[in-house]
Amino acid sequence: MQKCVIIMNPNSGKKKKINNYHDFYDILRKYGYETDMIFTKRAGDATKIIQGLDDSIDLVISAGGDGTLNEIVNGNMKRNKKLTVAPLPMGSTNDVGNMYGLNKGVFENLEILLNGKQKKVDICFINGTPFVYVACLGDYIDMAYATPRSLKKRYGKIAYIMYGIKQIFNKINQYDISYKVDGEEYEGTFSFIFITNASRVAGQPDVYYDVKLDDNMFEVALANVKNKTDMIKMLVLLNTMDVKDIPDITYYRTNNFEIEFKDKLKTSWCIDGEEYKEKTKKYVFNVSQEMKMLVPKENMKKLFKQK
């Protein structure tokens, strides 16, 4: 039999009742896997767990939210032999899982995954730190990581709205930056910065209509939002237009992006829903295809290049 390890974050997202963890073992056995389950206890555990796994492991299932998947990918990228990872969404927002079409119950999603295919995926980096689908900066962005876990477990997605209301009267900060795209130099003033490798971000589907997760590229969106009215208009347009077609958004598709801030950052970057605490003036973004993910067949034609 093949070998599988489930890295389970029992604290992810809105509290879900799993009556019998043996259901995981039964389903995986049906698909030819001998399975171990390891529970995380604190932040960073998932990274250490996958780093310590034997090279003979055929599949690692990330049972948690986008942050758990981020930790697992971080640990996997530090290994000499990269293991195949599968995202099993159990968090509050589950951007990655929903992008792949995993929007059913936990065990139904598990079977959908196990009927999927292994694909090489783009893994992006910010100053050498991997992230799976988004690195973003700007006001309100901290809702993803600053919303208390107790609220997220109790209320799910609504918890972010509850936390965001507290910031509604805050001023929108802007950043003067210089940046390079494929060696070409530019300057500008922006309030929101998104580097993504996804079609879904912060619960918003179809942010990009033509994104591919294996094209060795990522998308850059620099938004010039001056006030709350502009921000609301932009959010409305996101429901009807591709990001790159929205006025006041500067868009690039690249695999080589550098950004330098003229002033000190007023908040932290958010990567895959978690706080990236390194604060400097210069950030370098690049991408590699060093690992595989087991992904459902449902959205494969939409999200991957067709050979």
What is the CATH number for 109? 3.40.50.10330
The boundaries of the domain holding residue 219 are 129-288
Residue 168: the pLDDT is 57
147 and 36, same structural domain? no
Q: Name the pTM for this structure.
A: 0.87
Beta bridge partners of 176: 189
117 and 53, same structural domain? yes
Cα distance from N-terminal residue to C-terminal residue, the chain: 30
184 and 91, same structural domain? no
Residue 192: the pLDDT is 93
- Per-residue model confidence as pLDDT tens digits over 138-176: 887 766 655 556 655 565 555 545 555 555 556 788 899
Let me know: does 227 contact 257? Beta carbons within 8 Å: no
182 and 101, same structural domain? no
152 and 108, same structural domain? no
Residue 245: the pLDDT is 85
Angle between helices 22-30 and 106-114 (to 10 degrees): 20
Residue 149: the pLDDT is 62
Residue 148: the pLDDT is 57
167 and 100, same structural domain? no
Which residue stretches of the chain have pLDDT < 50? 15, 160
Residue 256: the pLDDT is 94
Residue 203: the pLDDT is 76
What is the CATH number for 184? 2.60.200.40
What is the bridge-based pairing of β-strands 33-39 and 2-8?
parallel
Residue 122: the pLDDT is 96
Residue 200: the pLDDT is 87
Residue 175: the pLDDT is 93
103 and 251, same structural domain? no
189 and 134, same structural domain? yes
Residue 214: the pLDDT is 95
Task: Tell which residue, 165, 125, 126, has the closest CA to residue 143.
Answer: 165
CA distance 63 to 24: 11
138 and 86, same structural domain? no
Let me know: does 74 contact 51? Beta carbons within 8 Å: no
Let me know: does 269 contact 135? Beta carbons within 8 Å: yes
DSSP string, 111-123: HHHHTSEEEEEEE
Domain count, the chain: 2
276 and 202, same structural domain? yes
165 and 103, same structural domain? no
284 and 140, same structural domain? yes
